Amino acid sequence: MSAVPAGSEQPRRPPTELVETPCRSALQRVRGMWFDWSLNPYGGCVHRCTFCYVRAFERRADRPSDARYGRTVRVKTNVVTVLRAELRRPSHQAGLVCLGTATDPYQPAEGRYRLTRGCLETLVAARRPLTLTTRGPLVVRDAALLAEGGAAVSVSISVPTVDEAVVRSTEPGTAPPRQRLRALERLAAAGVRAGVLMAPVLPGISDGDESLAATVRAARDAGAAFLLVGVLNLTPGTREHFLEALAHDWPELLPRYLDLYRGRSHLPAPFVSEVSGRVAGLRLAAGISAERPPRHAQPPAPRQLRLEL
> Is 3 a domain residue?
no
User: What is the CATH number for 47?
Assistant: 3.20.20.70
Angle at 44 between CA 41 and CA 50, to 5 degrees: 135
Q: Rounded to an integer, what is the distance from CA 139 to the centroid of its chain?
A: 12
Alpha-helix runs per DSSP H in 74-114: 79-88, 109-113
Q: Is 146 left (phi over 0), alpha (psi -120 to 50) or beta?
A: alpha
Is the residue at 200 inside a domain? Answer: yes
Residues of the chain with pLDDT > 70, as a percent, come to 87
Return the bridge partners of 17, or none.
72
Amino acid at 172: P
- Are 234 and 55 within 8 A, CB to CB? no
Does 4 fall in a domain?
no
Query: 91: Cβ–Cβ under 8 A, 6 or more apart, which residues?
Result: none
The residue with greater pLDDT, 7 or 124, is 124
Instruction: Name beta bridge partners: 196.
Output: 157, 227
Predicted local distance difference test score (pLDDT) of residue 63: 74
Residue 58's nearest CA partner among 45, 41, 76 is 45
Q: Is the pLDDT of residue 307 over 60?
A: no
Average pLDDT in the 101-114 region? Answer: 95
Cβ neighbours of 124 (radius 10 Å):
24
- Return the amino acid letter for 61: A
CA distances from 131 to 134, 191, 193, 195 (A): 10, 15, 10, 11
Q: Would you say how long the chain is, in residues?
A: 309
Give me the chain's average pLDDT, please. Answer: 90
> Which H helix or E strand runs over 239?
helix 238-249
Measure the CA angle with vertex 250, ends 249 and 255; round to 5°: 135
Domain coverage including residue 199: 17-286
Any domain includes 112: yes
- 237 falls within a domain: yes
* Structural domain count of the chain: 1
> What residues contact 56, with CB distance under 8 A and at least 6 apart?
65, 235, 236, 237, 238
**What pLDDT is attached to residue 15?**
82
pLDDT tens-digit readout, 35-94:
999 999 999 889 899 999 777 666 666 776 667 776 889 999 999 999 999 999 998 899
Among 40-49, 169-178, 185-194, 257-266, which stretch is predicted with the lowest mean pLDDT?
A: 40-49
Domain contains 291 = no
Per-residue pLDDT tens for 203-259? 999 999 999 999 999 999 999 999 999 999 999 889 999 999 999 999 999 999 999
Whole-number pLDDT of residue 54: 72
CB 86 within 8 A of CB 26: yes
Backbone angles phi, psi at 20, to 5 degrees: -75, 115
Interior angle at CA 117, CA 300 and CA 160, nearest 5? 95
> Are 75 and 42 within 8 A, CB to CB?
yes
Backbone angles phi, psi at 137, to 5 degrees: -60, -15
Tell me whether residue 141 is in a domain. Answer: yes
In a domain, 297, yes or no: no
* pLDDT for res 154: 96
Please state, in angstroms and rounded to a whole number, the distance separating the CA atoms of residues 275 and 69: 30
